[in-house]
Amino acid sequence: MPDSLAQLEKQRTELFRQIIRLGDFRRGSVTTTSGKCGKPVCHCARPNDPGHGPSFRLTRKVQGKTVTETFDSPVDLRKAQREVETFHRFQELCAELIAINERICGLRPVEQTLTLQEKKRPKRSSRKSPTK
């Protein structure tokens, strides 16, 4: 059975409440990198050495450019991971909100009243067009 307008509005209100309670969030992805630095005297230059890393980074777009942030401590990394997870939850809630709003718009009755501007119909021109 389809939801009533009142039920959908209640669901929408609950989604707004959930969004308000989210807390801090930020866009991006937390990824790992590892590799060799290229210095000939470093331990990573030895054969079969795994190299440096893994290093964790937060990567995101800012004004069309990729910005990367590295973390000084595991605490900073966990904080960023929580914030990115919260952002993904925010995106999910927004998608649900849009879907419910679209259903509300489809169910909401059309207003039967017209504004004064809408009531005024343009008059047809009484002038005859010149014949060719």
Give residue-wise pLDDT tens across range 49-104. Answer: 888 878 899 999 999 999 999 988 899 999 999 999 999 999 999 999 999 999 99
Domain that holds residue 47: 5-107
Is 99 within a domain?
A: yes
Name the residue with higher pLDDT: 37 or 66.
66
Where are any strands of DSSP class E within 1-132? 29-35, 52-62, 65-70
Is 101 within a domain?
A: yes
User: Can you give the pLDDT at residue 114?
Assistant: 72
User: Distance (Å, rounded) from C-alpha 65 to C-alpha 27?
Assistant: 13
Is 129 within a domain?
A: no
Of 15-19, 47-51, 53-57, 123-127, the range with the lowest mean pLDDT is 123-127
Is 119 within a domain?
A: no
Is 42 within a domain?
A: yes
Is 117 within a domain?
A: no
How many domains does one find in the chain? Answer: 1
User: Distance (Å, rounded) from C-alpha 97 to C-alpha 120?
Assistant: 37
User: Can you give the pLDDT at residue 104?
Assistant: 93
Tell me which residue of 4, 48, 55, 13 sits closest to 31, measured CA to CA.
Answer: 55
Is 61 within a domain?
A: yes
What does the mean pLDDT of the chain come to?
88
Q: Can you name the residues that pair with 68 across neighbouring β-strands?
A: 59
Burial degree of 58 (CB within 10 A; 0-12, 13-18, 19+): buried
Is 118 within a domain?
A: no
pLDDT confidence bin for 1, thresholds 50/70/90: very low
Does the pLDDT at position 109 exceed 50? Answer: yes
pTM for the predicted model, two decimal places: 0.70
Tally of CB atoms within 10 A around 76: 14
User: Can you give the pLDDT at residue 132?
Assistant: 61
